A and B are shown apart, each in its own frame.
Chain A
Amino acid sequence: MTSRRIVIQSAALAAGASLVPLAARAQGSPIKVGYVYVSPIGDAGWTFQHDLGRREMEKALGAKVQTRFIESVSEGADAERVIRELAQSGHSVIFGTSFGYMNFMERVAKQFPKVAFVHATGYKRGPNLGTYNARFYEGRYLTGLVAGRMTQSNILGYVAAFPIPEVLQGINAFTMAARSINPKAEVRVVWVNSWYDPGKERDAANTLMAQGADVVTHHTDSTAVVQAAQERGRYAIGYHSDMSKYGAKAHLTAATHHWGAYYIRTINEAIAGTWKPGNLWGGFKEGMVKLAPLNPAVPADVRERIARIEADLTAGKFHPFSGPIVDQDGKERLAAGQTMNDEVLGNMDYYVQGVASRLPKK
Chain B
Amino acid sequence: MAGLDLASALIAAAIFAGTPLLIVALGELITERSGVLNLGAEGMMALGAIAGFAAAYLSGSASVAVIAGALAGAACASIFGVLAISLLANQVACGLALSIFGVGLAAFVGKPYESLALTAVPAWPVPLLADIPLMGPALFQHPPIVYLSWLLLAGVIYFLHHSRPGLILRAIGESPAVAHQSGYPVIRVRYLATLFGGAMAGVGGAFLSVFYTPLWAEGMVAGRGWIALALVVFATWRPARVLLGAYLFGGMLIAQLFVQGSGVNWDIPSQWLSALPYMTTILVLVMISRRPSLIRLNSPVSLGQPYRPDA
Interface residues of A (CB under 8 A from B): 39-40, 42-44, 72, 157, 163, 186, 188-194, 196-200, 202-204, 206-208, 210-211, 213, 222-224, 227, 231, 245-247, 356-358, 360-361
Contact = CB atoms under 8 A, between A and B. Distances in A.
A224 B213 contact: yes
Contacts of A40: 107, 217-219
Contacts of A223: 117, 215, 217
Contacts of B219: 39-40, 196
Contacts of B117: 223, 227, 245-247
Nearest to B257: A207
Nearest to B272: A360
B64 to A, nearest CB: 21
Interface in B256-280: 257-258, 260-263, 265-271, 273-274
Q: Which of A40, A213, A246 has its CB near the most chain B CB atoms (within 10 A)?
A: A40
Contacts of A207: 10, 13, 254, 257-258, 261
Contacts of A208: 261
B115 interface: yes
Contact of B17 (A72, A199, A227, A247): A199
A203 B267 contact: no
Interface in B183-223: 208, 212-215, 217-220, 222
A43 B13 contact: no
B265 A199 contact: no
**6 residue pairs, one from A and one from B, having the closest CB atoms:** A356-B263, A191-B270, A43-B115, A360-B269, A193-B274, A207-B257
B244 interface: no
Given A163-B270, A210-B6, A245-B117, A198 B222 contact: yes
B120 interface: yes
Contacts of B212: 199, 202
Contacts of A211: 6, 258, 261-262
B246 interface: no
Interface string B106-142: 0100000011010010000000000000000000000
Given A157-B261, A192-B274, A358 B115 contact: no
Contacts of A192: 257, 274
A40 B214 CA distance: 19
Contacts of A198: 213, 215, 217, 220, 222
A246 B220 CA distance: 16
A211 B260 CA distance: 11
Contacts of A224: 213, 215
Q: Which of B120, B208, B258, B263 has its CB near the most chain A CB atoms (within 10 A)?
A: B263
Given A197-B222, A207-B258, A223-B117, 17 more contacts: A40-B217, A188-B263, A189-B260, A190-B261, A191-B270, A191-B271, A193-B274, A196-B219, A198-B217, A199-B220, A199-B222, A210-B13, A211-B6, A222-B220, A227-B213, A227-B215, A245-B115
A194 B253 CA distance: 14
A252 B110 CA distance: 28
B274 A191 contact: yes
A204 B274 contact: no
Contacts of A189: 260-261
22 contacts: A40-B219, A188-B261, A191-B271, A191-B274, A192-B257, A192-B274, A197-B222, A198-B213, A198-B215, A199-B17, A199-B222, A203-B13, A204-B257, A204-B260, A208-B261, A210-B9, A210-B13, A227-B215, A245-B117, A247-B117, A356-B263, A358-B267
A247 B118 CA distance: 11
A210 B10 contact: yes
Given A192-B274, A210-B6, A358-B265, A42 B260 contact: no
B170 interface: no
B238 interface: no
Contacts of B266: 358
A360 B268 contact: yes
A234 B156 CA distance: 40
B33 interface: no
A231 B261 CA distance: 20
Contacts of B215: 198, 222-224, 227, 246
A199 B208 contact: yes
A271 to B, nearest CB: 33
A112 B9 CA distance: 58
Given A42-B218, A193-B274, A246-B117, A357 B13 contact: no
A213 B218 CA distance: 29
Nearest to A192: B274
Contacts of A188: 260-263
Given A42-B218, A198-B217, A227-B213, A186 B268 contact: no
Nearest to B216: A198
Contacts of A163: 270
B260 A357 contact: yes
Nearest to A197: B222
Contact of A43 (B114, B253, B273): B114
A202 B213 contact: yes
A73 to B, nearest CB: 14
Contacts of A39: 219
B206 to A, nearest CB: 13
A194 B270 CA distance: 11
